[in-house]
Chain A
Amino acid sequence: MDFLTAAGIWGIVVLVVINTVLVMRMKVTIAGEEDEGDEKRCAGM
């Protein structure tokens, strides 16, 4: 298998690893989540 063909397979692996590292270091927030939580609690969910 030549380099560029193998790069396709390894390219997917590298993308997935980069994504994982990126998201792990990221602070993911959902704006207004606290208000939603209150609403759900009030609704008895």
Chain B
Amino acid sequence: MATHALAPATTAYRTGLYEWLTTTDHKKIGIMYVINSFLFFLIGGFFALGVRAELAQPGLQIFSDEHVYNEFFSIHATVMIFLFIIPMLAGLGNYAVPLMIGAPDMAFPRVNALSFWMLPLGGLLLLSGFLTQGGAAAAGWTSYPPLSEVGPTKSPGPGQDLWIVALTLIGTSSILGGINFLVTIFKMRAPGMTLFRMPIMVWTILVTSVLVVMATPVLTSALVMLFIDRNYGGHFFDPSFGGNAVLYQNVFWFYSHPAVYVMVLPAMGIVSEVLPVFTRKPLFGYKAFIFATAGIGALGFSVWAHHMFTTGAVFLPFFSLMTFLIAVPTGVKMFNWVATMWRGKISFSTPMLFAVGFLAMFLIGGINGAFSAAVPVDFALHDTYFVVAHLHYVLFGGSVFGVFAGIYYWFPKMTGRLLDETLGKVHFVIMIIGFNLTFFPMHMLGLQGMPRRIADYASNAGWNDWNLVASIGGFIIAASILPFIWNVFISLRNGKIAGDDPWEGNTLEWATSSPPPPYNFDRLPEIRSERPLFDVRHGRLDHGDATA
């Protein structure tokens, strides 16, 4: 349903640099989040290519100094987690949530801008470690002490401190964003939009924001303690003065486990928006979905020590049980998605391709996680490439595919132009092939005993072939980004004009122009279900609130 925008869609933005630098408009901020996060995706990807190039064959070919190799994988993961996935999903949420609930902006627009600008600053601080004498942080993205403490063979340089400060800044940005989302969602919904009529994307951002507000500060406390140990003679983690190295792991993972749900729930939200639109059916089990999401959020706080099964310092049965249990709501979601597709009428625009890719790949990631939930099996697989396979299937096969689904889906709303479908399909096909070539062999490598975080491996260990395949796959992934970048470039100039609602969407963001006016909506349709636009378009065929 078109609205009477006060200015033509293609000039709805003031384009000056000053406007972008000082904006408090959630749409511009959301776009900046997306661009900044994508840049860090490329940077994190560069470090990954360095790792894969080295591991393609046995023998040290590229890194003569192992310390630099350690910096590469440490910064790769840190960048991908804290500067790519988490903020990218926060950015897509920033763009979409106020629109989807019929609000004019976020609750605290200036805090929103502050949250964004802390990110490039944090990223610069993190990467500046490479310019220091000791190099960037090199103790893994997990930075366990004692290796991350000061000491000649540990982490003596400022790189580790820069890592701590950068993460504290980025964490604060995240917390402020979480507070902003929660107040926006609870207090600024349009009339008629009850909680149980909100789009699933908004629900996942809600639960994610609860996790962010409650878990991220615990990371801050771990970082603060490490910083005090490193710089003020503290002894939190130093056993010779009564400290305990495992304490860090407990505090760290208390955050970092819920963090993985922060990294995946909004992507699941995106998939839950895309599937109903492109199957022309409602999401199957809307309420069940919400309960499953809340269940994952709650259970997510009870499993952290499954990252520490081999320390000999955790109560194994509890954490193993909770880890197995969290598979249930996750499985429920998977079944609900498949049921949404079942007997639907599916069209395969690029957003849908990536959403289906999410389902197919995240399933594998969920299944291989079950192996590690079984403690004795984890004793064999922990700290091997099997875990690297698991985490990439859920975070890349899951979250990143979800991110691309969201980008292709909302690009027309953000810019007024559609991305080219052919280039999108090329991107998808090359990426999913490259992705599986890279990460499936890692299951085998881990099972055969290849540990993580090693710069080189023995040529007679039997790991040569799979490593080569994985490295080739990595470069194929890199290649697949090129059609995407090209697509964005040409579509911004010459893409097909999208109009208000190019996909026949269900949710409120499609009830305004593309891009929307600064205040978002002139007029809102009546909201009587979780698919207000569908109801308008089809004369409320299927009328009433969604029931499970």
A and B form one complex: no
Binding site for A on B (CB under 8 A): none
Binding site for B on A (CB under 8 A): none
